[in-house]
Amino acid sequence: CRVRHYKFNVVMRNTSRLCSTKSIVTVNGRFPGPTLTAREGDTVLVKVVNHVKYNVSIHWHGIRQLRTGWADGPAYITQCPIQPSQSYVYNFTITGQRGTLLWHAHILWLRATVHGALVILPKRGVPYPFPKPHSEVVVILAEWWKSDTEAVINEALKSAGFTLSVQRGKTYLLRLINAALNEELFFKIAGHKLTVVEVDATYVKPFKIDTIVIAPGQTTNVIVSADQNSGKYALSASPFMDAPITVDNVTATATLHYSGTLSSSPTTFATPPPKNATAIANNFIDSLKSLNSKKYPAQVPIKVDHSLLFAVGLGVNPCPSCKAGNGSRVVASVNNVTFVMPTTALLQAHIFKIKGVFTTDFPGNPPNPFNYTGAAPTNLSTKNGTKVYRLAYNDTVQVVLQDTGIIAPENHPVHLHGFNFFAVGKGLGNYNAKNDPKKFNLVDPVERNTIGVPSGGWIAIRFRGDNPGVWFLHCHLEVHTTWGLKMAFLVDNGKGPKESVLPPPKDLPKC
């Protein structure tokens, strides 16, 4: 194991994409930002220096951050932001993880342009649990915002410009990352099957499929065999489900280019699935299973200490000063709590026992039971609050995330910081606490850090609270996070010597 040093200078840079040029916030002048590469077991030190006029913080999405919540990154949750002309060193060790993840800014909407790949290789000498590919490529799917309201996906299919030159008979590992703010995407390659081997830096049982679906914050590793004769084949990313923003449809800006093919030869295109192709998405999602081998066992919690039901969705909030919405405004909530960002970081408040920053009365169940998929409830009102749900060290948790479908049913990709969880069950309509658990997969459910709550349905996840600290849970569609679809788990320190949060670094930013 070694220590890897990185320096991230946050600077403005004029950047051109898809015929428009803007000054954007970048890391080291690059969009997307630099790829951070490390091995399992390495310690990573990233010095972030803020040269812009905005507050900044960086999140290492999916890194467990065992006992190092100080390095997790969400502003006002685990740290105060890095103010202009200040710096902060993120210091963390990568334990028990290998695969593809992403890093991104975690304050306001800055992650639109401040993001990059995080590639964790296995420990030296440890092979992949699949045949070694001939080569590996990072593919970041993102949006390019022409104006503040119009996003264009696909500046995206980026990494190499982007033509991926392949040789017939060889295999290629694509590390796909969805770094978009609000866009769930289908991804496919004309004329080629994708063998899925990993999601969110956990190995899965390999399977072949035509089209994968990837939500903001998620990563997927696929192997492509160059098994066609020759030619050029388009890679395509296209939106899944409606989004509250205007998006251009597919622009295949990337191709697989077989060596020996003339550059004048035509490209074979793939027909993108229709936006609402839920069956295609489910076909992929339901095929995902943990590898669950001897070496990589799925450690699914069997006994559950906290059985929680979180109603997630949109709602309305009284807003006497709002002209537009007749004295109310659209918000998002978890169990009718619209999360209010504190002005001191929750982790600091917790460890230094600062009073009055948060309360520990986050409801474990929806306050007013209703039929989520039937007629809309009459009381849409949510309450503002900075509430956390408290766990003792090592408690096991089951959370059923139920889409309320209020205002509009939508698929919410929910991300949990500090843990991977197992997706043990999923269904449409209302979750039935008596019958549905009988069908749960407690053997080899997929393990991830971000998962879609199906539109008009529910998903059940389980995790073990073996990481003390304060951990954010939120929708990874930036628009919903902003509206309040977020909460936090507080995990108390345990009694053992390795069961408490490490002391805060000296340069931890102040609010």
Residues engaged in binding ligand C2O (CB under 6 A): 59, 61, 74, 104, 106, 217, 415, 417, 472, 474, 476
> CB 65 → ligand C2O: shortest distance, Å?
12
Nearest to 159 by CA among 100, 111, 205: 100
Specify the residue, 216 or 315, whose C-beta has the smaller distance to ligand C2O: 216
Taking the least distance from each CB to ligand C2O, the nearer of 111 and 188 is 111
Other CB atoms within 10 A of residue 102 CB? 30
User: Are 502 and 68 within 8 A, CB to CB?
Assistant: yes
- The pair of structure tokens assigned to 266 is 């035509």
Q: Round to whole Å and give the CA distance between 460 and 407.
A: 23
Cβ partners under 8 Å of residue 434, min gap 6: none
Nearer to ligand C2O by Cβ, of 64 and 476: the residue is: 476
d(Cα 59, Cα 79) in Å, to the nearest integer? Answer: 11
With residues binned 3-state (H G I as helix, E B as strand, rest as coil), the percentages for the chain, rounded to 5, are 5, 45, 50
- Which residue's C-beta sits nearest to ligand C2O? 61
**232 vs 474, which CB is nearer to ligand C2O?**
474
- Give 59 or 257: the residue with its C-beta nearer to ligand C2O: 59
What amino acid occupies position 242?
A: D
Nearest to 90 by CA among 28, 30, 14, 5: 5
Contact call for residues 72 and 64 (beta carbons, < 8 A)? no
List b or e across 59-87, with b for residues whose CB sees 16 or more CB atoms inside 10 angstroms: bbbbbbbbbbbbbbbbbbbbbbbbbeebb
Which lies closer to ligand C2O via its Cβ, residue 232 or residue 387? 387
Q: How far apart are CA 164 and CA 271, in angstroms?
A: 20
CB 109, min distance to ligand C2O, A: 13
Structure tokens at 165: 């030159």
How far apart CA 109 and CA 143 sit, in angstroms, is: 12
Q: Report the nearest approach of ligand C2O to the CB of residue 139 (Å).
A: 18
Q: What is the distance between the alpha carbons of residues 310 and 294, in angstroms, rounded to a whole number?
A: 34
We find the least distance from the C-beta atom of residue 200 to ligand C2O, in angstroms, to be 11
Q: Which two tokens stand for residue 362?
A: 């986050």
The least CB distance from residue 396 to ligand C2O, in Å, is: 22
| 190 or 487: CB nearest ligand C2O | 487
Task: Tell me how far, at minimum, the Cβ of 417 lies from ligand C2O, in Å.
Answer: 6
Nearer to ligand C2O, 65 or 93 (CB): 65
Unique residue bearing structure tokens 């072949």: 208
**C-alpha to C-alpha distances, 146 to 20, 38, 118, nearest whole angstrom:** 7, 34, 26
- The nearer residue to ligand C2O, 33 or 217, going by C-beta atoms, is 217
Q: Which token pair is 460?
A: 């059940």
CB of 474 to ligand C2O, least distance (A): 6
CB of 283 to ligand C2O, least distance (A): 26
Residues in contact with 262: Cβ distance below 8 Å, sequence separation at least 6, in sequence order:
none
Of residues 219 and 278, the one with the C-beta less far from ligand C2O: 219
Q: Work out how close the CB of 112 gets to ligand C2O at its nearest, in angstroms, rounded to a whole number.
A: 13
Tokens of 330: 């659209």
- In eight-state DSSP terms, residue 347 is H
Minimum CB distance to ligand C2O smaller for 218 or for 238: 218
Nearer of residues 412 and 476 to ligand C2O, judged by Cβ: 476
Phi, psi of 437 (to 5 degrees): -60, -25
Cβ proximity to ligand C2O, 280 vs 487, nearer residue: 487
Q: How far is the CB of 115 from ligand C2O (least distance, A)?
A: 9
- Coil, strand or helix at 481: helix
The 3-class SS string of 218-287 reads CEEEEEEECCCCCCEEEEEEEECCCCCCEECCCCCCEEEEECCCCCCCCEECCCCCCCCCHHHHHHHHCC
* Residue appearing with tokens 């043990």: 424
Shortest distance, position 470 Cβ to ligand C2O, whole Å: 12
CB of 226 to ligand C2O, least distance (A): 32
Min dist CB 62 to ligand C2O, Å, is: 8
Letter for the amino acid at 45? L
